[in-house]
Amino acid sequence: MNEEKLIELAEQTARQLPEVTRNEWEHWAQIAKRYGLDQAVQWSERLARDVTLRPAVKRANQLIMKAINSQRKKLKELSPEERDQVFGYVSRVLAVETVRGSLQ
C-alpha cells in the first residue's frame, strides 16, 4: 500500500480516538507490535472492563478497541511494517491534536 493510503488509514483511525492520549496509544501499539493485532485487541477488551482502572484509562481502551475493530480488515491486509507505519502516523496525529487542544 502506498504511503498516502497508509496516512489516510491512520487519520481515519485517529479520528475515532478523541479521548486517547498519545502515551496510551503508543503503549497499545507496542503490545500490538509484540503480540499481534488480535492479542492487543483482546488486551484492550480486558482493560475496558477492568473495574480497578481509572475511568479515563477504561474509556481509552474502549475507544482503541472500537477503532481497531472498525479498521481491522484493512489493518490485517497490511504487512507488519506497514501496520507499524500506520500506528506511528496515528501517534503523530494524536500528538498534534493534543497540542491543538491545549492551545484552545
Q: What is the pLDDT of residue 101?
A: 55
Query: What pLDDT, in 10s, does the model give residues 33-80?
Result: 999 999 999 999 999 999 999 999 999 999 999 999 999 999 999 999
Q: What is the pLDDT of residue 97?
A: 75
Residues 6+ apart with CB under 8 A from 49: 58
**Global pTM exceeds 0.75:** yes
Q: Which residue has the cell 489516510?
A: 8
Delimit the domains of the chain by residue range. 3-103
Distances (CA, A) of 28 to 1, 86, 94: 23, 13, 13
Q: Cell triple for residue 24?
A: 496510551
CA nearest neighbour of 67 among 22, 14, 31: 14
**Residue 100, Cβ density class (10 Å: 0-12 exposed, 13-18 middle, ≥19 buried):** exposed
Distance of CA 84 to the CA centre of its chain: 11
To the nearest whole number, what is the mean pLDDT of the chain? 93
Q: What is the pLDDT of residue 100?
A: 58
Q: What is the pLDDT of residue 64?
A: 98
One-letter amino acid of 34: R
